[in-house]
Structure 1
Amino acid sequence: MTASPCASPVPFRQPSVSGLSQITSSLYISSGVAANNRLMLSSNRISTVINVSVEVVSALYGDIHYVQVPVADTPTSRLCDFFDPIADHIHSVEMKQGRTLLHCAAGVSRSAALCLAYLMKYHAMSLLDAHTWTKSCRPIIRPNNGFWEQLIHYEFQLFGRNTVRMVSSPVGMIPDIYEKEENQVTPFIRARKKEGCCKFLILSFTSLKSQLTTCKMVKISFLPRE
């Protein structure tokens, strides 16, 4: 495994979900809400904010440079068109001693995918290592499967080999790093669906029984008196 992308230990190394998650000495990831929090931006000395969404409106603070990447979080969105330019921009900010915050709506899919692309290009990390590192900093990351396909292609472009591949699963094609997780979750989902079906049948039977009882009572109430 390659070395961590930070030249020196990162002071803010505890995984953060609600706030800003520090990935390298000059790169952070967050949700859209956190990205508009003035205190969080200033306390982490953020100089550039990259908004990777179409739904989050940036606060546009005067002393911060903003970049918009208008991409929806769908498997068919071409986030790969921004892999190189955004990685280059993050690197440029770092060279000027600045700090970049990369965010989307939740800080889970789009911003995480661009972060992985940056780590591959400028820190020579494999896609697998980049994901392992980023997930250790922000445990909730999970780019959608379409972005994973684009990242796998990008890794091959950069290094001529792949460390992650797409595999078939009960929910469709997924990255092999999620295969074990899906195999553990799928039986639970199936059990819940089966349980839901049983509950529906029981409720339906109870409802039908109730209706039949009501009909019987109505029929009895209208019997002619002797």
Structure 2
Amino acid sequence: MTSPWSAFPVQIPQPSIRGLSQITKSLFISNGVAANNKLLLSSNQITTVINVSVEVANTFYEDIQYVQVPVVDAPVARLSNFFDSVADRIHSVEMQKGRTLLHCAAGVSRSAALCLAYLMKYHAMSLVDAHTWTKSCRPIIRPNSGFWEQLIHYELQLFGKNTMQMMDSPMGRIPDIYEKETRLMIPL
């Protein structure tokens, strides 16, 4: 396991929502359109693309390895079945001095959730810290409630404790880190 901050860029990267968002020195998140942009892939030296969707087809480019994680963006989808295998693959690519692009359709829910799982497993980050960091790099991340529940369980499995929990709100079950934001959205 690498130390928590050794793989992170020296400076916090400029947040990106359209192109590739750099999370660590070797991990990026994007949407499906950006993931099929040869110029973006080559200029960021991407060697592995992990497609976490059933609806986005990849354009296959030479010298890039592709992994398909066929999961829909639905709270009942078992994304946790892929937490370890995807985290292990990202870590393996990093150890080989490669770079991974993790993408789903929008780069908001599925790819973000797998990114959080990776940061917890290989950078020993709490779920709260992994979320805070990833959101600073890609402000639009927002895993669905089912993925949050799975991430909370994964954090407990990895560390024996949780740094966040699910709570009931007028908008349904949400992670407690969204409580303040949700209150601002509900009219008085």
Q: TM-score, normalised by structure 1?
A: 0.80
Please report how far the alpha carbon of residue 4 of structure 1 lies from its aligned counterpart in structure 2 after TM superposition.
Answer: 3.7
- Alignment RMSD, CA only? 1.4
Relative contact order, CA 8 A, sep 6+: which one is greater?
2
User: Residue 113 of structure 1 corresponds to which residue in structure 2?
Assistant: 113
- Do 1:54 and 1:70's aligned partners in 2 also have CA atoms closer than 8 Å? yes
- Do 1:5 and 1:119's aligned partners in 2 also have CA atoms closer than 8 Å? no
User: Superposed, which structure 2 residues align to 1:58-73 within 5 Å?
Assistant: 58-73=58-73
- Do 1:71 and 1:77's aligned partners in 2 also have CA atoms closer than 8 Å? yes
Residues 81, 5 of structure 1: CA spacing in aligned structure 2 closer, same or farther, 3 A cutoff? farther
Please list the CA deviations of residues 118-156 of structure 1 after superposition, one character each: whole Å capped at 9, or x if unmatched.
Answer: 000000000000000000000000000000000000000
Whole-angstrom CA distance in 1 between matches of 2:181 and 2:187: 11
User: Residue 15 of structure 2 corresponds to which residue in structure 1?
Assistant: 15
For residue 7 of structure 2, what is the amino acid of its counterpart? C
Please list the CA deviations of residues 12-33 of structure 1 after superposition, one character each: whole Å capped at 9, or x if unmatched.
Answer: 8100110000000000000000
Whole-angstrom CA distance in 2 between matches of 1:13 and 1:31: 18
User: Superposed, which structure 2 residues align to 1:103-182 within 5 Å?
Assistant: 103-182=103-182
Q: Considering fraction of residues, name the structure with more helix.
A: 1
Please report how far the alpha carbon of residue 187 of structure 1 lies from its aligned counterpart in structure 2 after TM superposition.
Answer: 1.0
User: Structure 1 regions of 5+ residues with no counterpart?
Assistant: 189-226
Whole-angstrom CA distance in 2 between matches of 1:145 and 1:94: 29
Please report how far the alpha carbon of residue 164 of structure 1 lies from its aligned counterpart in structure 2 after TM superposition.
Answer: 0.9
Equivalent pairs: percent with the same residue? 72
The size of the alignment, in residue pairs, is 186
Please list the CA deviations of residues 158-213 of structure 1 after superposition, one character each: whole Å capped at 9, or x if unmatched.
Answer: 0000001001100111000001001000117xxxxxxxxxxxxxxxxxxxxxxxxx
Please report how far the alpha carbon of residue 5 of structure 1 lies from its aligned counterpart in structure 2 after TM superposition.
Answer: 5.5
For residue 93 of structure 1, what is the amino acid of its counterpart? V
Please report how far the alpha carbon of residue 63 of structure 1 lies from its aligned counterpart in structure 2 after TM superposition.
Answer: 1.4
- Do 1:126 and 1:155's aligned partners in 2 also have CA atoms closer than 8 Å? yes
Specify the structure having the higher radius of gyration (Cα). Answer: 1
Please report how far the alpha carbon of residue 3 of structure 1 lies from its aligned counterpart in structure 2 after TM superposition.
Answer: 5.6
User: Residue 57 of structure 2 corresponds to which residue in structure 1?
Assistant: 57
User: Residue 30 of structure 1 corresponds to which residue in structure 2?
Assistant: 30
For residue 153 of structure 2, what is the amino acid of its counterpart? H
User: Residue 93 of structure 1 corresponds to which residue in structure 2?
Assistant: 93
- What secondary structure does 1:167 align onto? strand
- What secondary structure does 1:187 align onto? coil
For residue 34 of structure 1, what is the amino acid of its counterpart? A
- Do 2:15 and 2:136's aligned partners in 1 also have CA atoms closer than 8 Å? yes
Residues 182, 7 of structure 1: CA spacing in aligned structure 2 closer, same or farther, 3 A cutoff? closer
Please list the CA deviations of residues 41-91 of structure 1 after superposition, one character each: whole Å capped at 9, or x if unmatched.
Answer: 000000000000000000011211000000000000000000000000000
User: Residue 40 of structure 2 corresponds to which residue in structure 1?
Assistant: 40
Residues 179, 8 of structure 1: CA spacing in aligned structure 2 closer, same or farther, 3 A cutoff? closer
Whole-angstrom CA distance in 1 between matches of 2:68 and 2:81: 13
Whole-angstrom CA distance in 2 between matches of 1:7 and 1:53: 26
